[in-house]
Structures are given as structure tokens and as C-alpha cells.
Amino acid sequence: MAPEYQDGVPDNWFVDPVQLGVPGVRRPAADEESEALAWQGDALCSQTDPEAFFPEKGGSTRDAKRICGSCEVRSECLEYALQNDERFGIWGGLSERERRKLRKRA
């Protein structure tokens, strides 16, 4: 089916930035849970290769930590990982071992 045109522009030219996952563009939260996770839309890791954040045992965490270092929602990410006892991957710029040490000190 051919697209419909009006004034030389396709009728379906607009794409909602929320559906595209554009960072910084958020859908209004419908409930408390979705509001609590709204930070994930701005996370730099959501725009990169997830394998960097879940390296093989003994693999380098350098790339993931570098990305986390410039992420504006780093603290929200770390808080989420600590509250939910995330045991794998880099969250908030810390590895599993670093988060475990942080929990022990608290």
C-alpha cells in the first residue's frame, strides 16, 4: 500500500521520539513503578552495546565504567542496583565486587 501524501509530505512522516527511545524524552509516568525506572530512558548504557556491561568472567570492565563516568543518571542506576541486589554486570559505574564491598561498608 502506497503512503498517502498531502502537500508533498507523507502523512506518516512523524515518528514519536518516545517510541524511538530518544534520550531525555520520557512518557509521563502512569504509576509509581514506571516513574521509579524513568531514569533508564536517559542511561547511556541503553544506547550502547550491552555486552560491555556484562563482560565474561575476568573480562575488562573499563569500557563500561568509562561510559558510566559520563552518564547523568549514574547515581540512580547504582541506587537501583543496590536496592535490587543486582549480582551481575556494571551498574552505576561499579562491578559486582565493588557493589558488594559498598554494601558491607554501609
Q: Known binder of ligand: residue 77?
A: yes
Q: Known binder of ligand: residue 57?
A: no
Q: Known binder of ligand: residue 68?
A: yes
Q: Which three cell numbers stand for residue 23?
A: 534520550
Residue showing cell 524524552: 25
Cα distance from N-terminal residue to C-terminal residue, the chain:
61
As a whole number of angstroms, the distance between CA 103 and CA 31 comes to 29
Question: Helix or strand or coil: residue 66?
Answer: helix
Q: Known binder of ligand: residue 95?
A: no
CA count, 13 A, side-chain hemisphere, 28: 1
Residues belonging to the binding site for [4Fe-4S] cluster are 45, 68, 71, 77
